């Protein structure tokens, strides 16, 4: 038996991943990534960059993507809780413009595997969240793209508790129609 449970979502290629957690009175241990097991489940990636962010309650980051150098991301929360969202931007996909979400927390240890060709964002549900993600492409600031978080055509249910806290950049992203983001993958 493997150390991970790979759960398909409604959008092809996006998986919720549950690690096996070994715990006792001292605490716990779990693997968060195993190249062999991921590959055996069709998730073949070479990760080149790890990122971590810290956010307070109500922060919404996203929806982000890179225009010409798309990134696959394996995301997780090490403390706190977020609603993590992926929006399909793959040209010709039957789910283009659709979104899928998962609650990720330090407690449930779930991860979301997001392939290339998606916009990504998250909203902090708890008081604070430490968010980690592996990327299979380096970050290129000149290649940043985004879609406004509240695009009515996408209509993400962010489970908001009040007005979200946004960066100035995230307040100014265009709609999906305006930016026309599509990835040939």
Catalytic residue among 15, 45, 123, 133: 133
Query: Any bridge partners for residue 101, and if so which?
Result: 85
Tell me, yes or no, whether 30 lies in a domain: no
Residue-number span of the structural domain to which 159 is assigned: 10-18+46-179
Active site residue 22: no
* Residues whose CB is less than 8 angstroms from the CB of residue 142 and which lie 6 or more positions away in sequence, other chains included: none
- Does the active-site annotation cover 133? yes
The answer to the question of residue 56 being in a domain is yes
Is 116 part of any domain? yes
Domain CATH code at residue 146 = 2.60.120.10
Domain contains 26: no
35-75, pLDDT tens digit by residue?
999 999 999 999 999 999 999 999 999 999 999 999 999 99
The runs of H, that is alpha helices, within the chain are 35-40, 168-171, 176-179
- The answer to the question of residue 169 being in a domain is yes
Annotated catalytic residue, options 45, 64, 120, 123: 64
Token pair, residue 185, equals: 């993958």
CA dihedral 46, 80, 107, 150 (to 10 degrees): -70
Count up the domains in the chain and report the number: 1
pLDDT band with cut points at 50, 70 and 90 for residue 95 = very high
Q: How confident is the model at residue 79 (pLDDT cuts 50, 70, 90)?
A: very high
The per-residue pLDDT for range 117-168, each reduced to its tens digit, is 999 999 999 999 999 999 999 999 999 999 999 999 999 999 999 999 999 9
pTM: 0.96
């Amino acid at each position: 038996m493997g150390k991970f449970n790979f759960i398909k979502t409604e959008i092809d290629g996006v998986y919720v991943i549950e690690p096996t957690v070994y715990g006792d009175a001292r605490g716990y241990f779990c693997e968060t990534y195993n190249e062999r097991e991921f590959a055996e489940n069709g998730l073949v990636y070479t990760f080149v960059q790890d990122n971590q962010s810290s956010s307070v309650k109500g922060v919404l980051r996203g929806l982000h993507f890179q225009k010409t150098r798309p990134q696959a991301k394996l995301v997780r929360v090490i403390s706190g809780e977020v609603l993590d969202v992926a929006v399909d931007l793959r040209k010709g996909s039957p789910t283009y413009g659709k979104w899928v979400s998962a609650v990720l927390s330090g407690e449930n240890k779930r991860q979301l595997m997001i392939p290339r060709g998606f916009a990504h964002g998250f909203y902090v549900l708890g008081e604070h969240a430490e968010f980690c993600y592996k990327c299979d492409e380096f970050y290129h600031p000149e290649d940043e793209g985004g879609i406004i978080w509240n695009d009515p055509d996408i209509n993400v249910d962010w489970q908001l508790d009040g007005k979200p806290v946004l960066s100035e950049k995230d307040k100014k992203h265009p709609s999906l129609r305006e930016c026309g983001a599509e990835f040939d993958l």
